[in-house]
């Protein structure tokens, strides 16, 4: 069958481009996920991420994004590293943001992916996505059999854990689909127990407005004082729920040179972060995902972590950012 042949071509290209896993789901309206998203929004778990309320129909129906869509190709790209910041007292940054912004790295690969599909199969129409449009990427990856969504709301792959970026191609091409796999979280509650801000309000449900990733990246206002003693010294993002997950014992180091951190980044000491200047910020985070929060935003976070040394009523805020992308690899319902 032609669909079988084309599916083999698609998965071969994905492997050649360095994607760790590739799965395919039928492009159709996501009814169960729509009800779940609506319930999550009604509880205001999106906090100030009002863009999560927009384009609801597009989030749950890929044919609204790509007319005539037949298949959703989901891809996982590893970003795991065992490299750590050398000063244990230094404010922490999520490992996904160590290197070059994944939006740029993966988008380039997706464009090449789509080009190769057209070269090898013929006329195919569609779009590529990497956390840059109203697409429920974790749910599509689940439908494509790439893993299950854990109690911390991140996708977990049985072979290599959860340290992955997720990307999609939505195309008008008939392909063989992969069925979803079962949930292997079992009775484990390590992520729930370890969350510093108790953001995982129940298994599989995260109150995004309490997540440290939200507080340090998405929130543009002053960080609420209630989190003063529960930030666990994170200045950008948070890795706690993934770090404690037993399935990440299978995680392997990434093979992407562009994800390597700036040589000086991991060496920075606590006092050097306190004295961070705009010039050093620009050098450390050139083309980095950290630039989303801007220098003023990172300084706000650093001052909040050091709030015992600051005036108690400090109201430092992050100016509005033009970047509306959400890091859905960390925050979702």
CA distances from 227 to 94, 216, 220, 304 (A): 18, 11, 15, 9
Backbone angles phi, psi at 157, to 5 degrees: -95, 130
Contacts of 132 (CB under 8 A, 6+ apart): 103, 107, 325
- Encode burial over 258-281: b for 16+ CB neighbours within 10 A, e otherwise: ebebbeebeebebeebeebeeeeb
Kindly report the CA angle at 135 between 249 and 110, in degrees rounded to 5?
Answer: 75
Task: Give me 254's structure tokens.
Answer: 């990434």
Taking Cα atoms as reference points, which of 332, 330, 304 lies closest to residue 318? Answer: 304
Q: CA-CA distance, 17 to 53, in Å (whole number)?
A: 34
Q: Judge contact between 141 and 147, C-beta under 8 A.
A: yes
Could you identify the residue written with the tokens 């100030």?
48
d(CA 64, CA 59) in angstroms, rounded, equals: 9
Question: Which residues are part of the catalytic machinery?
Answer: 131
């Amino acid at each position: 069958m032609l669909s079988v042949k084309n599916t083999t071509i698609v998965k071969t290209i994905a492997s050649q481009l360095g994607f760790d896993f590739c799965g395919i789901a039928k492009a159709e309206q996501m009814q169960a996920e729509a009800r779940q998203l609506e319930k999550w929004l009604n509880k205001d778990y999106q906090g100030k991420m009002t863009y999560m309320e927009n384009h609801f129909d597009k989030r749950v129906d890929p044919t609204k994004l790509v007319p005539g869509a037949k298949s959703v190709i989901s891809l996982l790209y590893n970003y795991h590293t065992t490299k750590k910041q050398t000063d244990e007292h230094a404010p922490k940054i999520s490992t996904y943001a160590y290197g070059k912004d994944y939006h740029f790295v993966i988008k380039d690969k997706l464009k090449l992916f789509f080009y190769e599909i057209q070269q090898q199969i013929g006329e195919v129409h569609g779009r590529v996505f990497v956390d840059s449009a109203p697409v429920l990427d974790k749910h599509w990856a689940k439908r494509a059999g790439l893993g299950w969504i854990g109690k911390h709301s991140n996708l977990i792959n049985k072979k290599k854990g959860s340290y992955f970026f997720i990307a999609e191609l939505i195309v008008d091409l008939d392909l063989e689909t992969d069925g979803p796999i079962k949930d292997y979280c079992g009775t484990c509650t390590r992520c729930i127990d370890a969350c510093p801000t108790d953001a995982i309000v129940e298994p599989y449900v995260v109150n995004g407005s309490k997540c440290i990733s939200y507080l340090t990246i998405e929130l543009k206002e002053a960080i609420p004082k209630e989190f003063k003693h529960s930030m666990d010294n994170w200045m950008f993002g948070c890795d706690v729920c993934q770090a404690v997950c037993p399935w990440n014992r299978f995680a392997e180091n990434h093979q992407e040179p562009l994800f390597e951190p700036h040589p000086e980044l991991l060496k920075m000491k606590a006092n050097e972060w306190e004295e961070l200047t705009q010039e050093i910020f620009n050098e450390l985070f050139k083309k980095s995902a950290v630039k989303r929060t801007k220098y003023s935003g990172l300084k706000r976070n650093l001052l909040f972590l050091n709030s015992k040394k600051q005036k108690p009523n400090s109201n430092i805020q992050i100016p509005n950012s033009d970047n509306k992308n959400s890091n859905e690899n960390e925050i979702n319902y």
